[in-house]
Structure 1
Amino acid sequence: MNLLAFDTSTETLSIAVQRGPQVFAHEAAGGAQASATLIEQALALLEQAQLAVADLHAIAFGRGPGAFTGLRTACAVAQGLAWGAGVPVLPIDTLLAVAENARQRHGLTRALAWLDARMGEVYAAPFIWQADAWRALDAARVCAPEELALPAGESAAGWALAGNAASTYGSRLPPALDSLPRLPAQPAATALLALAAPMLAAGQGLPAEQALPLYIRDKVAQTTAERLAARAAEAAKQKRAEQGRTEGRA
């Protein structure tokens, strides 16, 4: 099976090509640079694999949630390449790709996938690996880190937080999740490849015009007043924490 996969939903540009059993991967800085470099790097990787776009069986991409501009870039490139070559697209949830990347890297089978959504929030969804496939236990959502929770009826045993939000929001987790392992993971293109093959085999390939993003938050930026209020709230929180430590030492 010949596949091209890429993700531009985070600050990392991730591209991978599968030619039969061989996989060729590339990662670089993403963000604003992704729109300028994605096509060039994807074509270079295809050349390395000795494939043309027309040789592909499908093009997989991270559809979101994630950075607004990054999602639009991925959709536009997937649509353009697929349309020109007459191949189907496979839009794949980025949080599902995070769970798969955590399984590949850490052997995780119960993943509360979370990604930095900026503006003091995270994207999150829980997944369980069963019968050689991932099963989502809840829909993806955007929320404050304090509002994260495991699915109803699930104990913490075997679960871990997987994603890129730990360094920014790890101190804001609710007590019930504070003891969970925090494993680094990304919606890597190699994870997209692993998810794409069974999807294509199951007939889930879509026509190029259906290369569409998944947005779960309409608002993509804070106002100046909101940013100032958030900074003031964080400063007050840090001040209270320092006062508590000082009183504890007294």
Structure 2
Amino acid sequence: MNLLAFDTSTETLAAAVMRGGAVVAEERTVGGAQASAALIPALQALLAQAGLALGDLDAIVFGRGPGSFTGLRTACAVAQGLGFGSGVPVLGIETLLAVAEDARERAGATQVVAMLDARMSEVYAARYAFGGGEWRREGDIVLARPETVEVPAGWRVAGNVFDAARIEAQPTAAAMLRIAPRLLAKGAAQDAAHAAPVYIRDKVAQTTEERAQARANRPPPP
């Protein structure tokens, strides 16, 4: 199976290529505001390194969120553009699912509360359990303050929220490539026209009044 995967939902741009079922090229670099300009050249370089053209791919895999609004739009737009141009189907993967898979690879975790920084002192979070060779999400993806996210007994917390995470993990492209084949076998790929990001928050910044209220609500220092 030949796959191209990329994620720009965080401050890191992650991309990788699978050829014949093995990851043969991978890149992780600064993303954020630079992702929109850097992503396509990075993908072209990785495909060249792997000796593949877009038409050789079985699917184009992208991180669909939750995460940075701009990053999610960038990844989705690039997936759509590449998919339309090549006739290759696309597969959107939840970024928190990729975090859970990265935690499994790093630490052997199979019951993971995945968290990603959502700014404004909040996180995106969801619970994932691994069994029978695949992940399943238990419950909804939530937006909450990290200290309010429920962590069942025996579960591991993972993500990029360093004051809350027990396993430092990211939505890496390699993690998405490990997840993708089983999803594709289940028919999860879509025509590029139907690719869409997952938005959990409907705003990206607090008002002046909200910031002042948040400061007022902070507990006093010990």
TM-score normalized with structure 2 length: 0.96
Give 1:17 deviation, angstroms: 0.3
**1:195 aligned residue (159, 167, 179):** 179
Q: Which residue of 2 aligns with 1:223?
A: 207
1:82 Cα shift? 0.6
Shift of 1:203: 1.6
Cα deviation for residue 233 of structure 1 reads: 3.5
Identical-residue share of aligned pairs (%)? 57
8 Å contact kept, 2:134–2:182: no
Deviation at 1:145? 1.7
Q: In the alignment, what sits opposite 1:160? A: 156
**AA at the equivalent of 1:128:** A
Please provide the CA RMSD for this pair: 1.3
For residues 129-182 of structure 1, what are the alpha-carbon distances to aligned partners after superposition, in whole Å with 9 as ceiling and x for unaligned?
A: 1111111111111011232103xxx4x12x111000123xx3xxxxxxxxxx70
Structure 1 SS opposite 2:78: helix
The answer as to 2:18 corresponding to 1:18 is yes
Which residue number in structure 2 is paired with residue 214 of structure 1? 198
Aligned residue type for 1:166: F
Structure 2: stretches of 5+ with no match in the other structure: none
What TM-score does the superposition give when structure 1 sets the normalisation length? 0.85
The Cα of 1:232 is off from its aligned counterpart by: 4.1
C-alpha distance in 2 between matches for 1:95 and 1:22:
23
Give the equivalent residue in structure 2 for 1:245: none
> Between Structure 1 and Structure 2, which shows a larger proportion of strand residues?
2
3-state SS of paired residue (2:139):
coil
Give the alignment of 1:171-182 within 5 angstroms: 182=166
Question: SS at 1:139's partner residue?
Answer: strand
What residue number does 2:54 align with?
53
CA distance in 1, matches of 2:156, 2:89: 34
| Rg larger for | 1
- Please say if residues 2 and 21 of structure 2, whose CA atoms lie closer than 8 Å, have aligned partners that are also in contact: no
- Determine if the alignment matches structure 1 residue 30 to structure 2 residue 10: no
The structure in which a higher percent of residues are helix is: 1
- In structure 1, distance between residues paired with 2:7 and 2:104: 18
Helix, strand or coil at the partner of 1:98: helix
1:148 & 1:232 partners in 2: Cα distance?
22
Displacement over 3 Å in runs of 4+: 231-234
Structure 1 unaligned residues grouped into runs of 5+: 171-180, 243-250
Aligned residues: 221
